[in-house]
Amino acid sequence: MKKAKIYIPSKSAMQSGKGKSNKWLLEFNKSKTENDHLMNWVSSNDTQSQVKLFFSSKEEAIVYAKKNNINFEVIEPKKNKIIIKSYADNFLS
């Protein structure tokens, strides 16, 4: 049976804003890969591991996984704790 994980991907180092950070991703687990020592290529017989499906909500991704008999694990995003400080706080002793 297929296994997948559902999560919100983290932003890349090239992103500074939070645009497109609300999409949920269903990504299949990678299977064992094989190395071709002659050409130095990495290959796999599992094409499912290349599939990435984006959803606008976590519930949509879960419904899709259940409908297609996919075992899944939901990884909840970490909440960033925002500390509001003023510039003058840097000089307090």
Tens digit of pLDDT at every position of the chain (93 positions): 689 999 998 877 787 776 667 899 999 988 777 887 888 887 777 788 888 999 999 999 999 999 999 999 999 988 888 888 899 888 887
Residue 1's pLDDT is what?
66
Residue 82's pLDDT is what?
85
Count the helix, strand and coil residues of the chain and give each as a percent rounded to the nearest 5: 20, 25, 55
pTM score above 0.85:
no
Residue 61's pLDDT is what?
94
Residue indicated by tokens 């071709």: 36
